[in-house]
């Protein structure tokens, strides 16, 4: 059987891949476990050197893969090519960081000499999403492989071609069996989680992450979960309103709002709410919606009709309950997968669009009068991935930021940290984390070997 991938902008068939039969997954795991012996024995530096050869493969194929990514997922071509190229261009630096993070340490106290090793778990199942279908596999597969694990990658059934393209780039330099691809939907994902794997790395929805954690509990498999978000952007009364509105529009609607750290809630001091809302609407209106292959496009289509319908349902439910449109919304009942950026005000406190992840080009705007109220509003709900604070007073912004229940907080900027920072969520947005030296180490088992000194 085949898995068909369609262009979300046109509905045209982009390509197909063969679905992995569920009953074939145990054999794939067995091959991975057999391949793990030689891959582990190769050693940390040699594994990194092997993977370093993939840089040229990725860069040579970047333009073609990027174009395919746009046709399969919808994001603008320059962003798609940039996603692929960034994985190749930064590969050697990433590998150096991973080797340093995973290298042995020596501890001694005068009587005991201890080697602290970071060894592979064995076989890793990496289950990746569709919104960044090249870079998300990269963020999970690469550290797992450097740590000495073998990997079974299951890319999203919505973007199988790009996931396969990433695997092809690495398989061009890897020994057989070290990286395999499993294609399919939830049935294959469940079978992979239930299989004889040692580590599960997953990025996706909170609901799916909860099911994975429950399924893994029986055998205490190691689990890393990067889940959803409902990120707030807090605009304090002393903020640069124009800069805050510009950032809110960019961060709420890039990738058609299909980003785990999209700004989905804007919380603005009542004293500057009117100028902020006007500026927010003005900046959103500059974002051209269209096919990702069109040079002018800033916002492409949503991934598919199912996702669009879920987003529209949240918006309509809020409108029926009394919310108002600040801008947008005239295409809610249109055909196809496009949805222009929109924002809601006067949203009821219990509305799904205010509390649940929307994952579309939708933002809510509400006001506060004190910093304490802003913090309380920002911390509502179960999510805690990222948050942003805009203020003209850095110390005031830091004080607010330190009280936010989020794993990553940006002040007058996005949430991503300096080089080496982990990508980490709080509350129900994360269980473990990845990236940076601290994240790389989660793909390895700590083992200590001790002898007497003297």
Give the burial class of 251: count Cβ atoms within 10 A of its Cβ; 0-12 exposed, 13-18 middle, 19 or more buried: buried
Can you spell out the DSSP letters for 133-150?
Answer: TTHHHHHHHHHHHHTT-E
The 8-class DSSP code of residue 65 comes to: H
Sign (positive or negative) of CA dihedral 301, 310, 305, 322? negative
Alpha-carbon span 441 to 439, nearest angstrom: 5
Number of H helices, E strands in the chain: 16, 20
Dist CA 132 CA 202 (whole Å): 13
DSSP assignments along 146-185, one per residue: HTT-EEEEE--TTSHHHHHHHHHHHHTTSPTTSEEE---S
SS3 assignment for 257-299: HCCCCCEEEEEEEHHHHHHHHHHHHHHHHCCCECCCCCCCCCE
Distances in Å between the alpha carbon of 260 and those of 131, 160, 223, 252, 358? 9, 20, 19, 10, 10
The answer to whether residues 408 and 416 touch, using CB atoms and an 8 Å cutoff, is yes
Q: What span, in angstroms and rounded, lies between the C-alpha atoms of 309 and 313?
A: 6
- In contact, 189 and 20? CB cutoff 8 Å: no
Distance, in Å, from the CA atom of 448 to the CA atom of 371, rounded to the nearest integer, reads 47
- Evaluate the CA torsion angle 348, 350, 352, 355 in order and state its sign: positive
Element (H, E) at 451: strand 444-452
Q: Exposed e or buried b for every residue in 260-279, given b needs 16+ CB within 10 A?
A: bbbbbbbbbbeebbeebbeb
Q: How close are the terminal C-alpha atoms of the chain, in Å?
A: 65
The CA distance from 76 to 415, in Å, is 22
Catalytic residue positions, numbered: 226, 260
3-class secondary-structure state, position 225? strand
Would you call 370 helix, strand, or coil by DSSP? coil
């Amino acid at each position: 059987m085949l898995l068909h991938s369609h262009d979300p902008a046109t509905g045209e068939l982009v390509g197909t891949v063969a679905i992995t039969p569920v009953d074939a997954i145990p054999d794939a795991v067995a091959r991975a476990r057999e391949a793990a012996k030689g891959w582990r024995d190769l050693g940390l530096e040699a594994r990194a050197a092997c993977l370093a050869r993939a840089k040229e493969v990725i860069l040579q194929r970047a333009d073609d893969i990027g174009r395919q990514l746009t046709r399969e997922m919808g994001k603008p071509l320059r962003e798609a090519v940039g996603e692929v190229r960034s994985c190749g261009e930064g590969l050697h630096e990433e590998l150096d960081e991973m080797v340093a993070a995973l290298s042995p340490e020596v501890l001694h106290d005068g009587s005991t000499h201890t080697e602290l090793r970071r060894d592979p778990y064995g076989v890793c199942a990496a289950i990746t999403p569709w919104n960044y279908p090249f870079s998300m596999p990269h963020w999970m597969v690469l550290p797992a492989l450097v740590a000495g694990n073998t990997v079974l990658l299951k890319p999203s059934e919505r973007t199988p071609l790009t996931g396969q393209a990433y695997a092809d780039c690495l398989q061009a330099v890897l020994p057989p069996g070290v990286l395999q691809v499993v294609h399919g939907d939830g049935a294959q994902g469940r079978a992979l989680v239930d299989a004889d794997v040692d580590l599960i790395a997953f990025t996706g929805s909170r609901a799916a992450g909860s099911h994975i954690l429950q399924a893994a509990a029986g055998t205490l498999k190691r689990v890393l979960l990067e889940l959803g978000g409902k990120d707030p952007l807090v605009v304090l009364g002393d903020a640069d309103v124009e800069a805050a509105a510009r950032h809110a529009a960019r961060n709420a609607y890039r990738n058609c709002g299909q980003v785990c750290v999209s700004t989905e809630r804007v919380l603005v001091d009542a004293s500057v709410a009117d100028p902020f809302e006007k500026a927010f609407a003005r900046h959103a209106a500059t974002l051209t919606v269209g096919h990702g292959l069109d040079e002018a496009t800033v916002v492409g289509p949503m991934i598919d009709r199912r996702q669009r319908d879920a987003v529209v349902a949240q918006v309509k439910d809020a409108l029926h309950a009394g919310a108002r449109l600040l801008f947008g919304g005239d295409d809610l009942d249109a055909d196809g997968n496009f949805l222009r950026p929109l924002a809601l005000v006067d949203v009821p406190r219990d509305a799904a669009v205010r509390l649940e992840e929307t994952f579309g080009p939708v933002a809510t705007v509400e006001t506060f009068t004190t910093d304490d109220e802003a913090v309380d509003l920002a911390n509502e709900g179960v999510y805690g991935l990222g948050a942003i604070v805009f203020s003209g007073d850095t110390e005031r912004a830091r004080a607010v930021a330190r009280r936010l229940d989020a794993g990553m907080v940006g002040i007058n900027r996005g949430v991503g940290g300096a080089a080496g920072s982990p990508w980490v969520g709080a509350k129900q947005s994360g269980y473990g984390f990845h990236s940076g030296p601290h994240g790389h180490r989660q793909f390895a088992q700590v083992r200590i070997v001790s002898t007497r000194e003297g």
